[in-house]
């Protein structure tokens, strides 16, 4: 079974990431495409690749050569981690996050050499709380820092053209509390996943702009991201798989959100680059 942030290798030797589960249908996109002039060499296929940006998810191929599972890969390769990445998982273990609840995704998972960083997944709501409660300790023990202003600017410039000008993308990027900045230009941000909630409901509403107040934003640290909000005096859930929106909601935030509003089920879904958040 394919799960969130698993990868597959298709029969053309392209690598896909499973980026969202909508109505139990796995969707994603090609993240590394075969290109003989590409700047990345893969140790599994022995071919060269270019990395692609996400320009919209489609259904994954139903048949494929290989499936890559982050938790299995972590268990098999923990002993091979070195330097900051070895220290990082040692600190995760120290605060009570067990190896069974850790995964590695990204380029290292699928056979590329580590160029800058290793991407980690941490599973379970209880482990999200352990991480949040020990965030300063993690950074102190690993000799890393919070995201820098320079890196915030870099991320904003890199992604701002994907989003509407109304979107407060830079303010959201600043909310990256969990990332560990190893040095300027190298930031590893863990993804937090609750396996009890990965399936996003299909859209049944209409796209519109609404003003909301956050009741609970702690689950906006998860993937998919969820926030409980008040709209028109009723409780709604905002749900989005868009990874740049990590930690977009804090209790008592007031913001405008443009998304697919389902007034029957009290759900607001943000699932494309026309959707946005603008703080009031």
pTM over cut 0.85: yes
Q: What's the average model confidence in pLDDT over 3-8?
A: 96
Name the band, by pLDDT with cuts 50, 70 and 90, for residue 107. very high
Domain count, the chain: 3
Domain-terminating residue out of 151, 177, 193: 193
Q: Are residues 59 and 93 in the same domain?
A: no
Within a domain: residue 1? Answer: no
What does the alpha-carbon distance between residue 242 and residue 239 come to, in Å, rounded to a whole number?
9
Q: Give me 156's structure tokens.
A: 């904003």
- How far apart, in Å, are the Cα atoms of 79 and each of 66, 75, 99, 113, 182? 23, 8, 12, 16, 20
The confidence score (pLDDT) of residue 53 equals: 86
pLDDT in tens, 140-193: 999 999 999 999 999 999 999 999 999 999 999 999 999 999 998 899 999 999
Q: Are residues 24 and 58 in the same domain?
A: yes
* pLDDT(116) > 90: no
| Owner of token pair 């702690």 | 218
* pLDDT(54) > 90: no
Q: Are the CB atoms for 191 and 219 separated by under 8 Å?
A: no
If phi > 0 it is left, if psi is from -120 to 50 it is alpha, else beta; for residue 247 that is: left
Q: Which of the listed ranges 2-16, 55-69, 103-117 does the model predict with the highest average pLDDT? A: 2-16
The confidence score (pLDDT) of residue 52 equals: 94
Q: Are residues 208 and 179 in the same domain?
A: no
The confidence score (pLDDT) of residue 243 equals: 86
Q: What's the average model confidence in pLDDT over 62-90?
A: 96
* pLDDT(255) > 90: yes
* pLDDT(24) > 90: no
What does the alpha-carbon distance between residue 36 and residue 30 come to, in Å, rounded to a whole number?
16
Within a domain: residue 2? Answer: no
pLDDT in tens, 205-248: 999 999 999 999 999 999 999 999 999 999 999 999 998 999 99
Q: What is the CATH number of the domain that holds 256?
A: 2.40.50.140
The confidence score (pLDDT) of residue 42 equals: 97
Name the band, by pLDDT with cuts 50, 70 and 90, for residue 57. confident
The confidence score (pLDDT) of residue 147 equals: 95
* Full domain range(s) for residue 31: 7-67
What average pLDDT does the chain have?
Answer: 95
Q: What's the average model confidence in pLDDT over 196-203?
A: 93
């Amino acid at each position: 079974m394919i799960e969130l942030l698993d990868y597959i290798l298709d029969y053309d030797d392209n690598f896909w990431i499973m980026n969202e589960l909508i109505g139990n249908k796995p969707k994603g996109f090609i993240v590394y495409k075969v290109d003989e002039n590409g700047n990345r060499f893969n140790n599994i296929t022995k071919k060269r690749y270019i990395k692609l940006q996400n320009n919209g998810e489609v259904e994954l191929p139903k048949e494929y050569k290989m499936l890559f599972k982050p938790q299995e890969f972590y268990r098999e390769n923990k002993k091979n981690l070195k330097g900051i990445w070895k220290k990082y998982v040692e600190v995760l273990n120290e605060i009570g996050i067990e190896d069974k609840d850790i995964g590695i995704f990204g380029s290292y998972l699928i056979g590329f050499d580590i160029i800058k960083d290793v991407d980690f997944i941490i599973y379970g709501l209880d482990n999200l709380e352990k991480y949040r409660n020990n965030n300063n300790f993690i950074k102190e023990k690993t000799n890393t820092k919070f995201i820098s202003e320079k890196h915030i600017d870099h991320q904003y410039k890199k992604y701002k053209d994907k989003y509407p000008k109304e979107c407060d993308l830079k303010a959201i990027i600043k909310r990256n509390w969990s990332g560990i900045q190893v040095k300027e230009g190298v930031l590893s941000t863990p993804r937090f996943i609750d396996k009890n909630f990965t399936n996003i409901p299909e859209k049944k509403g209409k796209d519109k702009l609404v003003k909301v107040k956050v009741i609970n934003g702690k689950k906006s640290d998860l993937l998919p991201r969820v926030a409980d909000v008040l709209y028109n005096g009723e409780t709604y859930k905002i749900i989005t798989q868009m990874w740049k929106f990590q930690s977009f909601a804090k209790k008592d935030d007031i913001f405008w959100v443009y998304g697919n509003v389902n007034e029957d089920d009290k759900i607001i879904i943000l699932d494309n680059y026309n959707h946005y958040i603008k703080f009031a």
